[in-house]
Amino acid sequence: MAAVPASIISLASPYDFETLQTRLEESATKNDMLVVAKASASAGAEKRGVRIPGDAVTMIFRNDYAVRMLQAEPAAGLEAPIPIHVFATPNGKAALAYRRPSAVFQPYRSQKLDAMAKELDKVFAKIVADAIGR
């Protein structure tokens, strides 16, 4: 995979796109988070008659974190839910990428957001580790 910024975690998986996408959604639920929304570039392209490899962004968060985030800094509402990008790779497998919550919330320079983001770093690390089978 290409080089990505240090704040982005990018991990290959042993699974195909559909399997990894399913595992990600199941892992979010297993780790007490919610799949808030999902957008799929491949599904959208297919509706236009264009075929591209599997590609989806799953947005994950939870309301108690949202409340804490908004109490700490209302402008940070732009940052939630946190997206995880799942994409097919040339070898027929899939990978995922996401920005660490601590990097997402760092620009707000809020101790309360930083504390919450550190918690979320662990939660998201567990979600993706479970999804890729680590």
| pLDDT of res. 5 | 81
| Domains in the chain, number | 1
Domain presence at residue 1: no
Domain presence at residue 97: yes
Per residue in 93-126, pLDDT (tens digit) is 999 999 999 999 999 999 999 999 999 999 999 9
Domain presence at residue 85: yes
Residue numbers of the domain that contains 110: 8-132
| pLDDT of res. 4 | 73
Could you tell me where the beta strands, DSSP code E, fall in 1-134? 8-12, 34-40, 55-61, 82-88, 94-99
Distance from chain centroid for Cα 25: 10
| pLDDT of res. 84 | 98
Domain presence at residue 3: no
Domain presence at residue 2: no
| pLDDT of res. 134 | 80
Does pTM surpass 0.85?
yes
Per residue in 8-58, pLDDT (tens digit) is 999 999 999 999 999 999 999 999 999 999 999 998 988 999 999 999 999
**CATH number, domain containing residue 25:** 3.30.310.70
